[in-house]
Chain A
Amino acid sequence: MCGICGCGQPHGHQGLDESAHAEEQESGHQRRLQVELDLFSQNNRYAQANRELFQRRNLLVLNLVSSPGSGKTALLTRTLQHQLDKVPLAVIEGDQQTSHDADRIRETGAEAVQLNTGRLCHLDAHMVGHAMEQLPHLENGLLYIENVGNLVCPAGFDLGEAAKVVVLSVTEGDDKPLKYPDMFHAARLMVLNKVDLLPYVNFDVEACIEYARRINPEIEVITLSAQTGEGMENWLEWIEHRRQGQTAARVAQLERELLVLKSQL
């Protein structure tokens, strides 16, 4: 049994140190303890273990977040069609119920793991750690995590990903960044999807980008249509640029290790 989570499944929890320090003050049999217990710390410990695993396996991991119906799965299937024969990849699908999304991903030929969260409104790092046990051979490539459709809760849960990508479709309204600021603050990139529908909806792209940058001055933006393929090249380039960067960092690290080992011969 897993000793930390008690979940009855074997898996690694390397580097999960207890970091809280306590000072005591005693009076009678009641005591006051000064502690530092971060409520996100348990999730963050799992997230750190995931991050180390992703680094060792040289995986670029993107956590896709959005409201339901923004087109995350459509964006993914289109993306996979471009990348499948070029780079190893897999998808972790999070939904409250059903395996519909994982089925859609598998139809492209890609490997997919479905996580059903039941009543939970978000994926957490622990669930993702277990999902990785089902992807033992995935390395030197890409892992997409499609989070539960929800623009609120997934913002606070680090999964160990390299970046959160928030997908917003133009049918949803351009003021979403102001209404759901936590998510846009947490995301590295905003993908504005369904731009082929712009002639039919009242959506101001420039205003939306301005709102997103009020929340997060550094957020990057790509506009595209997963349906027609318009703008897809920018998204694919964004991913490839990051994958190259991650691989270069991994190569540098392995070269340093190699030097150390050679010096010991």
Chain B
Amino acid sequence: MHELSLCRSLIELLQEQAEQHRFTRVKQLWLEVGPLAAVVPEAMQFAFEAASRGSLAEGARLHLVELPGEAHCQACGFETSISQWYQACPRCGEYQLKVLSGDELQIRELEVE
């Protein structure tokens, strides 16, 4: 359900951008999503459709760009990729992974007119 409030924030951010960069329509947008971002891609698409209705982004194509997650093991120092919070270190087996990246949720590119 919080995908909807995130998409409402997104529409407001787009309106700010539209004033700053003088555009009136958003045609496509690319959203980077880390595996730990606590959003469900399908729910984001659905919420975006609902939140964009009647706005400058109505009918725009939302592309989800999935990013890798990375973590550092505090026990053995190994660096590894992760897809969820509770993974054991693949080298030493300890649950001591400190997440370095993977919780991103940001728009990186817009196609506007």
Q: Given the interface contacts A22-B17, A36-B108, A213-B95, does A31 sit within 8 Å of B1 by beta carbon?
A: no
- In the complex, A35 Cα to B32 Cα: how many Å? 11
- Of A36, A38, A157, A177, which is in contact with the most chain B CB atoms at under 10 Å from its CB? A38
Interface members, chain A 219-259 (any B CB < 8 Å): none
Q: Given the interface contacts A31-B111, A31-B112, does A182 sit within 8 Å of B38 by beta carbon?
A: yes
Closest B residue, CB atoms, query A182: B38
Residue contact B113 to A31, C-beta cutoff 8 Å:
yes
CB distance from B54 to the nearest CB of A (A): 16
Closest B residue, CB atoms, query A20: B17
- In the complex, A31 Cα to B26 Cα: how many Å? 10
With an 8 Å Cβ cutoff, the count of chain A residues facing the other chain is: 40
Please give, as numbers and ranges, the residues of chain B lying within 8 Å of A29 by CB-CB distance.
113
Residue contact B27 to A30, C-beta cutoff 8 Å:
yes
- Dominant secondary structure of chain B at its interface with chain A: mixed
Residue contact A42 to B9, C-beta cutoff 8 Å:
yes
Interface 9-residue window, one of A66-74, A120-128, A162-170, A200-208: A120-128
Residue contact B10 to A33, C-beta cutoff 8 Å:
no
Residue contact B109 to A34, C-beta cutoff 8 Å:
yes
Please give, as numbers and ranges, the residues of chain A lying within 8 Å of B13 by CB-CB distance.
20, 37, 39, 41-42
Please give, as numbers and ranges, the residues of chain A lying within 8 Å of B12 by CB-CB distance.
42
**Number of residue pairs A-B, CB distance < 8 angstroms:** 105
Please give, as numbers and ranges, the residues of chain B lying within 8 Å of A119 by CB-CB distance.
1
Residue contact B113 to A30, C-beta cutoff 8 Å:
yes
- In the complex, A42 Cα to B12 Cα: how many Å? 9
With an 8 Å Cβ cutoff, the count of chain B residues facing the other chain is: 37
Please give, as numbers and ranges, the residues of chain B lying within 8 Å of A18 by CB-CB distance.
16, 20
Interface members, chain A 1-52 (any B CB < 8 Å): 18, 20, 22, 24, 29-43
Residue contact B85 to A181, C-beta cutoff 8 Å:
yes
CB distance from A136 to the nearest CB of B (A): 28
Interface members, chain B 52-103 (any A CB < 8 Å): 74, 84-86, 88, 95-96, 98-99
- In the complex, A119 Cα to B1 Cα: how many Å? 9
- Of A39, A155, A156, A178, which is in contact with the most chain B CB atoms at under 10 Å from its CB? A39
- Of B16, B85, B88, B104, which is in contact with the most chain A CB atoms at under 10 Å from its CB? B85
CB distance from A81 to the nearest CB of B (A): 34
Please give, as numbers and ranges, the residues of chain A lying within 8 Å of B106 by CB-CB distance.
36-39, 41
A104 within 8 A of B: no
A217 within 8 A of B: yes
- Of A24, A43, A157, A214, which is in contact with the most chain B CB atoms at under 10 Å from its CB? A214
Please give, as numbers and ranges, the residues of chain A lying within 8 Å of B27 by CB-CB distance.
30
Please give, as numbers and ranges, the residues of chain B lying within 8 Å of A124 by CB-CB distance.
5
Closest A residue, CB atoms, query B27: A30
- In the complex, A254 Cα to B22 Cα: how many Å? 44
- In the complex, A152 Cα to B112 Cα: how many Å? 34
Interface members, chain A 78-120 (any B CB < 8 Å): 119-120
Residue contact A32 to B110, C-beta cutoff 8 Å:
yes
Q: Given the interface contacts A22-B21, A30-B113, A178-B86, does A156 sit within 8 Å of B108 by beta carbon?
A: no
B interface, CB within 8 angstroms of A: 1-2, 5-6, 9-10, 12-14, 16-17, 20-21, 23, 27, 31, 36, 38, 74, 84-86, 88, 95-96, 98-99, 104-113
7 chain-A/chain-B pairs, Cβ below 8 angstroms: A18-B16, A22-B17, A32-B112, A37-B10, A42-B13, A120-B5, A217-B98
